């Protein structure tokens, strides 16, 4: 029988509650989008999060004493992944769902990584780092979709501002 550090158990209990809400939200999003590319990303994220739930429950199960690995994201991808990358079909919900799901993936990636830094069990910690990287990969898929749809905006600074910043901090190289 294997017991976990209290920190790890508490963090995973909180994550499981959050996952329940996010999984349900993603399923509602899937039902409300017509764009096949966005739907594929939503399905991938939902499938991935269900896998993360299975992993956390395996860690919590005291009768499971073996090493637990997070499945590869590629193993969770649909065979049709990225088919129709130029699919421009949208409805009124497409943009806000894409933007919100992107933010969800970003927040979950951050939460998993920060949580991993606090975890004591090496297997639990490493799994949460991998989960963070998987959420980052999903976030990047949303970013590519949002860019492809023409909804991305990234402000840039002037060359002068960038040079001034560089010159201001350049002294650190000579210390």
Can you give the pLDDT at residue 162?
A: 97
Q: 87: pLDDT confidence band, cut at 50, 70 and 90?
A: low
Can you give the pLDDT at residue 65?
A: 84
* 23 falls within a domain: yes
Is the pLDDT at 172 greater than 60, yes or no? yes
**Mean of the pLDDT values across residues 48-75?**
94
Is the pLDDT at 85 greater than 90, yes or no? no
Is the pLDDT at 12 greater than 90, yes or no? yes
Question: How many whole angstroms separate alpha carbon 5 and alpha carbon 14?
Answer: 15
Structural domain tally of the chain?
A: 1
Q: Which residue has the tokens 């780092």?
A: 129
Q: What does DSSP assign to residue 173? A: G
Q: Across all residues in the chain, what is the average pLDDT?
A: 93
Question: How many whole angstroms separate alpha carbon 143 and alpha carbon 109?
Answer: 14
Q: What does DSSP assign to residue 81? A: T
Can you give the pLDDT at residue 79?
A: 44
SS (HEC) of 105-130? HHHHHHHHHHHHHHCCCHHHHHHHHH
Q: What is the percentage of the chain residues whose pLDDT exceeds 90?
A: 85
* 1 falls within a domain: no
Domain span including residue 13: 6-174
**Mean of the pLDDT values across residues 22-30?**
98
Can you give the pLDDT at residue 77?
A: 77
* 43 falls within a domain: yes
* 167 falls within a domain: yes
CA angle 21, 24, 26 (to 5 degrees): 110
Distance, C-alpha 2 to centroid of its chain? 29
Is the pLDDT at 82 greater than 60, yes or no? no
Can you give the pLDDT at residue 80?
A: 43
* 166 falls within a domain: yes
First to last CA, the chain: 54
Note the pLDDT tens digit of each residue in 122-164: 999 999 999 999 999 999 999 999 999 999 999 999 999 999 9
């Amino acid at each position: 029988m294997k017991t976990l550090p209290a920190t790890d158990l508490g963090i995973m209990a909180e994550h499981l509650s959050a996952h329940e809400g996010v999984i349900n939200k993603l399923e509602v999003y899937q039902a409300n989008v017509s764009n096949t590319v966005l739907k594929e990303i939503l399905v991938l994220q939902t499938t991935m999060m269900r896998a993360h739930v299975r992993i956390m429950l395996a860690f919590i199960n005291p009768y499971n004493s073996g090493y637990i690995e997070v499945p590869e994201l590629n193993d969770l991808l649909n065979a049709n992944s990225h088919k129709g990358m130029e699919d421009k079909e949208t409805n009124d919900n497409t943009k806000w769902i894409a933007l919100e799901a992107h933010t969800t993936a970003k927040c979950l990636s951050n939460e998993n990584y920060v949580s991993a830094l606090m975890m004591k069990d090496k297997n639990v910690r490493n799994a949460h780092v991998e989960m963070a990287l998987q959420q980052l990969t999903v976030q990047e898929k949303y970013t590519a979709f949002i860019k492809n749809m023409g909804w991305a905006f990234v402000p840039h600074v002037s060359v002068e501002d960038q040079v001034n910043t560089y010159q201001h901090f350049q002294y650190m190289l000579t210390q």
